Chain A
Amino acid sequence: MVDSIFIGLSVITIGSAILSLESRELLYGGIALAVSMLGIAGYFIILDAPFVAMFQIAVYVGAVAVLIIFTVMLVRAPNTITKKETRKRKIAGILLGLAFLILAGSILGNSAATQLKFNDTVPIFDVQAIGKELLTYYSPVLLVLALTLAAAVIGALALARREDIEERNEPTN
């Protein structure tokens, strides 16, 4: 039962990951990316991390992917598949990807990694455990994260501000 869920999720996640890069229309690519992120959230549920899965759906699928799709619609580039994407570059990309796959796969495939096992006797970490960690050991990190988000907001606002409107109001000296 679970295994079939795992295989199904893998097909959806990896398939839509490939689709997000290879689709003809950039917009479909963005949607495929969102589906791939949903697949990752599915893995999180299988791995007994429902809170993180919710967070993934809310932030990644709900905010990041939607933001990306909006940007795709704003920057309707005339040619989404460029001539610059030469065959040589494509072969180099496939070779590099395969090289990493084989390297990491061989490290994973050796006997030490396959000894890693999931433990079935431990309790599941629920929201309480995560919240406790967040408010004790990681509390300074949480405060710094607030500053990071503030920095992102200030930076994005500074970038989005229209210069031409502002200049009309400023005295020239």
Chain B
Amino acid sequence: MALWPWHAERILRKEMNQPTDFLYIAVILISIGIYGLVVKRNALRLIFSIELIANAVNLVLIAFSRMLPSPQGQVFVLFSIAISAAEVAVGLGIIIIAYRFYKDIDITEYKNLKN
């Protein structure tokens, strides 16, 4: 059972961190993601931003799971991680095809649809 050295002992102490600390970190990460989505026009940077938001959301879920406490939040995060891995695999495939067309991955180059 001693898979983890801290298995028997709790890492988190009552007097130390509170849920809001983790939620603030998540909010900051989401703000960085929003900034990236607005400013960046490189398709890969946009995926970076989306991944940052997804990670922050997972942090929110785990913090809630620890606070409540219930294991369902952890299961939720497992599903969420698996799903975003699948999503990124398809998305990167699309971006590589785009690179074959334009030799660039800047989405401002993609203007075919504006008529």
Contacts and interface: CB of A to CB of B under 8 A. Distances in A.
In the complex, A touching B (Cβ < 8 A): yes
Interface of A: 2-3, 6, 10, 13-14, 17-18, 20-21, 26, 29-30, 33, 36-37, 40, 43-52, 55-56, 59-60, 63-64, 67-68, 71-72, 74-75, 77-80, 82, 84-85, 89-90, 92-94, 96-98, 100-101, 104-105, 108, 113-114, 116-120, 122, 124-126, 129-130, 133-134, 138, 141, 145, 148-149, 151-153, 155-156, 159-160
B75 A26 contact: no
Interface of B: 3-4, 6-7, 10-14, 16-25, 27-32, 34-42, 44-45, 47-49, 51-52, 55-56, 58-59, 62-63, 65-67, 69-72, 74-75, 77-79, 81-90, 92-97, 99, 103-106, 108
Q: List the 6 closest pairs (A to B, CB-CB), nearest first.
A: A152-B86, A93-B38, A93-B39, A97-B35, A159-B93, A125-B71
Nearest to B98: A75
Contacts of B34: 93, 96-97, 100
Contacts of A68: 44, 47-48, 51, 88, 92
Contacts of B36: 21, 93
A82 B42 contact: yes
B81 A84 contact: no
Nearest to B13: A2
A75 B105 contact: yes
Main secondary structure of the interface of B (DSSP, over half): helix
Contacts of A49: 62, 65-66, 74, 77
